[in-house]
Structure formats: structure tokens, C-alpha cells
Amino acid sequence: MAKVLPPPILVVRTQRPARRWRWAAAVALLWLASLAGAMALQHWLVGIGAHMSVAHAQQERDAWLQKIAIAERAEQVARAANADLQQSLRDRQEEIAGLRADLAFYSKLTDGRSKPEGLAVHGVRMTAAGTPNVYNFTVTLTQTLKSGQVASGRVRLSVDGIRAGKLATLAWTDLAPNQDASGLPFSFKYFQQVGGTVMLPAGFAPNRVHVEADAGGDMGRADQDFAWSDALTDQEPADVQP
């Protein structure tokens, strides 16, 4: 007789859908959290890189600005040095011109072959006095007609120019109202430099200086015209009165 196996034991379990969904939701949340963390980390790294790039660019900009400032300062120093050099050259040229004029004057004065002459106006120099329209002047007078004889008299100036669009002449009394109307005194044997001060009225443009000296007697009278631009100088000549 054949042996019959007992039937299998079946276990019936109740399925729980809610538990499966909770598990899926937890996995999904974990994935989203990891994704958000990765994105945040990437954003942080990008921000650090951008900050470092901006800081580096700022450092380069500051370095270039410093180089530009140094170059501009060097250029200013070079310009100032060049201006000083040019002014020194002009001063030396004016000094040389003055020395040449003085040498010509003394050579003429001591040259025994030159024809003796009476009272003469050798030159005039005008120097700005620091006050508007006020000038100091120095007139150089000479005489070689009579050796050892004293030439005495008075010298005065007048100035021609433009005033209110018209030609005008300022007499000595207009230029130096507080001085003697007859002029400044002089007395010398061979030459003398006579100095004084004149004041031009506002709005007057000078273009010529007229010097008149009168010693009377055998010495006679001398007068000479000089261009204002030639007479005007920045250097005050030495006062020499032999």
C-alpha cells in the first residue's frame, strides 16, 4: 500500500502597504537630503573660489594702481627737475648777457683809443619791486671827455606806452610824484649808477623808457631811449660809484 504524504502547511500573512510606503519615503528623503547636501557643498565651493578670484583680482588691481601712482610721481619729479633746469639755464644766459654788457662797457671806458665823449647814458635797468606796477630802476651814466673832472647834475625818466587804447607818455613827475621834480642827483668822475623807484598807473602798458641827464656846462646834456622789454630784468645790478 502506497504511503501518502501529508498536505503542506500554508501560512497566511496579512500584507502591510503603509509600511512599504514609509520605507520608500525614507529612502526618497535620504536621497533628497544627500542631493541637497551635494548641491550646498558645490555652492559653497563655488563661492569660495569666486571670493578667492575677487580677492586676487583686487590685489592685482591695487598693485597696478600703486605702480601707476609711482610712475606719475616719478613723472612729476622729472618735470619739476626739468623746469628747474630750464630756469637755471635762463638765469645763466641772462647773467652771461649782463656780464658781456658790463665787459663791453668797461672795455670802452678804459680803451685809450676810443674818442672821448661827454656825458652819456650807457643804459637803464628796470626791476619789478614786488608791488604791482612799482619798479626799481638803475641808470648808468658815463663821461670820458675830461679825465678827473666831476660831472654833476640830475637825471630823470619818462615812459611811453598805451593807456585806454591810446598812446601816452608819463613824465618824471607822474612816475615819481614824491621825488624832486628836477630828477635824481648824480656826481661822478668816470661813471655812476643812479637808482630810484617809479610807479606806473593801473592799466598802463609800457613800451619805451626815455632817460634824460643834464650836467650843464661843458659836460652838457644826454638822453637815450630804451625798449621796455630790453630794460626790464629780474636781477638788480650792483651799485658802483667810483
Mapped onto helix, strand or coil, the DSSP state of residue 133 is: coil
Do 182 and 221 belong to one domain? yes
Task: Tell me the C-alpha distance between 181 and 156, whole Å.
Answer: 9
In 2-133, which ranges are continuous DSSP H helix? 17-110
pLDDT tens by residue, 184-205 = 999 988 889 999 999 999 999 9
Q: Is residue 210 part of a domain?
A: yes
Looking at the predicted structure, is the pLDDT value of residue 115 above 60? no
Q: How confident is the model at residue 3 (pLDDT cuts 50, 70, 90)?
A: low
Mean pLDDT of 29-39: 75
Residues near 189 by Cβ (< 8 Å), separated by ≥ 6?
A: 143, 147, 148, 149, 150, 151, 242
Mean pLDDT of 38-42: 74
Q: What is the pLDDT of residue 19?
A: 64
The pTM of this model reads 0.53
What DSSP state is assigned to residue 49?
Answer: H
Q: Is residue 15 part of a domain?
A: no
Q: How confident is the model at residue 155 (pLDDT cuts 50, 70, 90)?
A: very high
Give bridge partners of residue 227 from the DSSP assignment.
208
Which of 91, 114, 137 is the last residue before a domain boundary? 114
Owning domain of residue 178:
116-231
Do 82 and 68 belong to one domain? yes
Q: What is the pLDDT of residue 202?
A: 92
Residue 120: name the closest of 170, 190, 180 by CA. Answer: 190
Residues near 192 by Cβ (< 8 Å), separated by ≥ 6?
A: 140, 141, 186, 240, 241, 242
Looking at the predicted structure, is the pLDDT value of residue 85 above 90? no
Q: 100-137 in b/e burial notation, b at 16+ Cβ within 10 A? A: eeeeeeeeeeeeeeeeeebbbbbbbbbbeeeeeeebeb
Do 97 and 177 belong to one domain? no
CATH assignment at residue 148? 2.60.40
Averaged confidence pLDDT in the chain:
79
First-residue to last-residue Cα distance in the chain:
177
Q: Is residue 35 part of a domain?
A: yes
Higher-pLDDT residue of 143, 238 = 143
Looking at the predicted structure, is the pLDDT value of residue 239 above 50? no
Lowest mean pLDDT among 5-9, 159-163, 179-183: 5-9
